[in-house]
Amino acid sequence: MKKAGFYPKLALDGMRKNGRLYLPFIMTCVSMITVFYILCFLSKAESVASVRGGDIIQSMMYLGAWVMGIFSCIFLFYTNSFLIRRRKKEFGLYNILGMGKKNLALLLLCETVITALGSLIIGLAIGILLSKLFELGLVNIMHAEIPYSFKISLPSVTKTVWVYLLIFFLIYLNALRQIQFSTAIHLLRSENVGEKPPKGNILYAVLGLIFLAAGYFIAITTKNPLAALTLFFIAVLLVIGGTYLTMISGSVIFCKILQKNKKFYYKPNHFVSVSSMVYRMKRNGAGLASICILSTMVLVTVSSTTSLYFGMEKSIMQRHPGEVNITFSLSQDDMTPEADLLLDGVRSEMVDFTKSRGGEVTNLIDYRCAYVAGLLSDGVMETDYTAHSMDMTTDINSLYECFILPLEDYNRMMGTHEELTDGEALLYAVHGKYDLPTLTFKEGRTFDIRKINALNVSGESAVDIVPSIFLIVPDMSFALDGLDRLADYNGDQMVKFQWNYIFDCGLPPEEQQQFTDDLTDILLDQNLRDRTVQFKVADITSREAERYYDYALNGGLFFIGIMLSAVFLLATVLIIYYKQLSEGYEDQSRFGIMQKVGMTKREIKKSINSQVLTVFFLPLAMSAVHIAFAFPIINKLLGLLYLNSRAAFMIATVLSFALFAAFYVLVYRITSNSYYKIVSGAKEGKS
């Protein structure tokens, strides 16, 4: 009967002898556990919750933790397959020497328990130690302050333990399945069994190209941000599927083309490398595709979150052009010149109140408008979405917002003296263009258009993802004829009327929120409304107050982007490392034979460089292509988060790719040296 410590000792000895494989795997497990705990900790931290906008950031951290958990499960399964493949020969030897499958199962269990406990203890210890540092970093990104106090989140520890114990248990079952259903001879010969080139290469390659073309087509032809939100995930799935099919099957075809090129193929350095790649290209292609997808994920995550965070101030100024932004809800009767005179009482109250607080109303944007949305095509706008011929969900690329302004408001705001007759209108387009001479409302009037190149508009209109048209007309009653009779499914009037009053108050930032709150109380006073028209305060915001929420949202995305990018980058490096090691061990005997028949170490190194350079930089090149085609649709998606600076996103993307490419080259140099040492026997004998 074996001693109780026999299997743990044997497991530790096996892991020690295979330290080159186990150490990176355990380090990866530790890193993922650390990140998962920190995200769970931040999603529950009271200090983050107490910060304005903290509820938004904690929701994002909670979601990020589960993304991390799911990715950990998939990736650790993938990388563990490298370990099992390398250990099969050892397990086969144990089997021949008398160990049954139950004994091997116990040995595997001990290795899994040691790996799991070691990773959890170290990962949680590092996570707990770093949690306060990341908490302070997150709050600093959010431009807030918190008192220093160190806490350990027991619920986060518990959740981390349960999630990763489940992952390790599933990994153990998968490894056990591979051992239980393999004979001793199969285990012994596992390293020497190559993979035949997959059948139907041309069919799979063509299918992969079709998937890629479809994904690219969606990415570059989607113009509307709302449509981009729906189609983005479809494009991602198509590109992922296309990448795997193309790299698995297309790489085989590529190698066969090289073999047919006699001038290239029949050279010592090319002959060995190309024939070796063909021999195992199915698995090699899958690894390259994984590297490509992970590289693309890193680049997309870093570039998008970075551009969002550093483009935030510009976005805030666009969305909130004034320090105080007020939208009033009016009725159709309030759109006349007479009603505008009555609103002067409200204007005076706001100016007097601002002066009483030591401020002054400046940079004023003041206009009334009627708002309606519809589908615009060939100069005709259809606004009745109860009509059977109109579907705003399927015809989203034709969706426009239309703001109809009285001419007197435009002249007052812009300091002009424009004159128009009924049937004429000034037109200003936002996030779109309109070049036709007329504009017709299907349910209303037709206008002869004179384009203008500038207009002070409210912030939401300036950054809205839906294209907008501002129409300045001399007579609102004439302009709204027909439109004012439209009703929605609830019977409410379809056209909405509002008054935008936006200004700078000149007060210090820390006083602006209180100023806005007090101004709201005055505007809600019934006596004030009784003296003027019957208006309602639909929305009133302070730019400084909104800045907190913007920093919470974009700062949180930036923080999660950094953490997930670091994990994706680690995963990329680990796949490259294991790929080079596993292929090095497979090629060791082949290059040993070539040395015996006269191939020098210099020729071996040239052959290795030929092989590695042929396939190693393929994922980097393909990820660059993915990013280039994905750029338009991601730029549209960033518009949903109010980033309308294409230049900022482009700069972030180019810089991210340059840094990643430099890092990729460094990894190439390190891993190619490891591969060379293995196959040339520089430090190891034959295994």
pLDDT single digits (tens) 42-58: 888 777 776 666 676 77
User: Which residues share a beta bridge with 427?
Assistant: 451, 471
The count of other CB atoms within 10 Å of the CB of residue 24 is 19
Angle formed by the axes of helices 618-640 and 281-310, to 10°? Answer: 40
DSSP code string of 282-294: HHHHHHHHHHHHH
Alpha-helical regions (H) of 45-100: 46-50, 54-96
Looking at per-residue confidence, does 675 or 436 come out higher? 436
What was the pLDDT predicted at 1?
A: 44
Buried b (16+ CB within 10 A) or exposed e, 353-381: bbeeeebebeeebbbbbbebbbbbeeeeb
Residue 363 DSSP code: E
How large a percentage of the chain has pLDDT more than 90? 9
- Identify residue 133 by its one-letter amino acid code: L
**Rounded CA gap, 157 and 36, in Å?**
10
- Cα torsion at 479, 481, 484, 487 (round to 10°)? -130
Structure tokens at 91: 């397990």
Structure tokens at 312: 């935030």
Buried b (16+ CB within 10 A) or exposed e, 164-193: beebbeebbeebbebbeebebeebbebbee
The terminus-to-terminus CA distance of the chain in angstroms comes to 32
**Secondary structure class of 540 (helix, strand, coil):** strand
Looking at per-residue confidence, does 127 or 465 come out higher? 127
Phi and psi, residue 346, nearest 5°: -70, -40
Whether residue 188 has pLDDT greater than 60 = no
Structure tokens at 73: 């499960």
What was the pLDDT predicted at 85?
A: 74
Average pLDDT, the chain: 78
Q: Is residue 483 within 8 Å of 372, Cβ to Cβ?
A: yes
**Rounded CA gap, 239 and 296, in Å?**
11
Q: Is residue 639 within 8 Å of 465, Cβ to Cβ?
A: yes
Of 249, 247, 246, 257, nearest to 209 by C-alpha is 246
Of 81, 80, 68, 65, nearest to 116 by C-alpha is 80
What was the pLDDT predicted at 340?
A: 80
Whether residue 194 has pLDDT greater than 50 = no
What was the pLDDT predicted at 158?
A: 92
β-strands 362-377, 380-382 pairing: antiparallel
What was the pLDDT predicted at 273?
A: 60
Whether residue 318 has pLDDT greater than 80 = no
Looking at per-residue confidence, does 604 or 617 come out higher? 617
Structure tokens at 165: 């114990």
Whether residue 387 has pLDDT greater than 50 = yes
**Secondary structure class of 683 (helix, strand, coil):** coil
pLDDT bin (cut points 50, 70, 90) of residue 608 is low
Alpha-helical regions (H) of 366-508: 407-414, 459-463, 476-479
Query: Which of left, alpha, beta for 245 (phi over 0: left; psi -120 to 50: alpha)?
Result: alpha
Q: Is residue 52 within 8 Å of 549, Cβ to Cβ?
A: yes
Q: Is residue 15 within 8 Å of 111, Cβ to Cβ?
A: yes
Whether residue 8 has pLDDT greater than 60 = yes
Residues 6+ apart with CB under 8 A from 247: 208, 285, 286, 288, 289, 292, 618, 622
Looking at per-residue confidence, does 237 or 30 come out higher? 30
- Identify residue 367 by its one-letter amino acid code: Y
* Side-chain half-sphere CA neighbours of 39 within 13 A: 28
pLDDT digits (tens, 9 = 90+) for 561-574: 787 788 778 777 77
- Identify residue 429 by its one-letter amino acid code: A
What was the pLDDT predicted at 600?
A: 64
